[in-house]
A = this chain, B = another copy of it.
Amino acid sequence: MADRQVLILEAAVRVIARSGVRGLRVEELAAEADVSTALIYYHFKDRAGLIRRTLDFISARATGYTDEAHSSAQDPRALLLQLLLGELQDTARVRENSIAWGELRASAKFDDDLRETLARSTRTWCRDTADSVADAQAAGLADLRADPEDVAARLTALVEGLSERWHSGSLTVERARALLSGAVDAELGRRPDEPV
């Protein structure tokens, strides 16, 4: 049962996705969550505490929802692609999380507190991706000379770079998805079943 705290955190993600961390006004959040500003201070102590908790919340949610991609199971390589493309979908949910995630990254540059949270989430994501790459190799669907760790680091960093360009309007989602898909081919080699 989502208590008030969680409702506030969810509202905070929406506000951050709309206005950025820098643009989050406690009063605006209060309106979005339909509570008083005082309640926010009661639960989160101060603005900085609120931001910290919100970003923890985001990163927890992010590690959660990549699992959803596993649902419509296919071969390991398709799964990897699906895992990565999951971050480049034009739905409210993904857009929200993705923008908020970018804000976490941007804020971490100037706030040591956030670096730890960010680094942990990034590590998890890279590890999961590396596992997926290794699976594809084991299934004979990826070049064995590629180091899974390196490939994963590059592909996930690329997803972040493409997301940023998408959200800042220099790229459409479709183009971003096509580019990402091409990168997987370049990194793993073309699929044996789909030559040229």
Shortest C-beta distance, A164 to chain B (Å), equals: 6
* Residue from B105, B156, B183 within 8 A of A168 (CB atoms): B105
> How many angstroms from the CA of A106 to the CA of B164 in the assembled complex?
8
Do A170 and B122 touch across chains, with their CB atoms under 8 A apart?
yes
A119 within 8 A of B: yes
What per-residue 1/0 map shows which CB atoms of A127-162 lie under 8 Å from chain B? Answer: 000000000000000000110001001101111111
Do A160 and B154 touch across chains, with their CB atoms under 8 A apart?
no
Do B169 and A119 touch across chains, with their CB atoms under 8 A apart?
yes
Shortest C-beta distance, A128 to chain B (Å), equals: 15
A47 within 8 A of B: no
Do B19 and A110 touch across chains, with their CB atoms under 8 A apart?
yes
Do A109 and B179 touch across chains, with their CB atoms under 8 A apart?
no
> How many angstroms from the CA of A19 to the CA of B158 in the assembled complex?
25
Number of interface residues of A (CB under 8 A): 47
Do A167 and B20 touch across chains, with their CB atoms under 8 A apart?
no
Chain B residue with Cβ nearest A118:
B168
A86 within 8 A of B: no
Do A106 and B110 touch across chains, with their CB atoms under 8 A apart?
no
> How many angstroms from the CA of A162 to the CA of B150 in the assembled complex?
12
Q: A20-B110, A154-B186, A186-B186 are in contact. List 9 more A-B contacts (CB 8 A).
A: A18-B110, A20-B22, A108-B169, A146-B186, A153-B179, A154-B179, A157-B165, A161-B162, A161-B164
Q: Which residues of A approach B to under 8 Å, CB–CB? A: 18-23, 99, 102-103, 105-110, 115, 118-119, 122-123, 145-146, 150, 153-154, 156-162, 164-165, 167-171, 175, 178-179, 182-183, 186-187, 196
Instruction: State the 4 A-B residue pairs at the shortest beta-carbon distance, nearest first.
Output: A161-B161, A22-B22, A157-B161, A108-B168
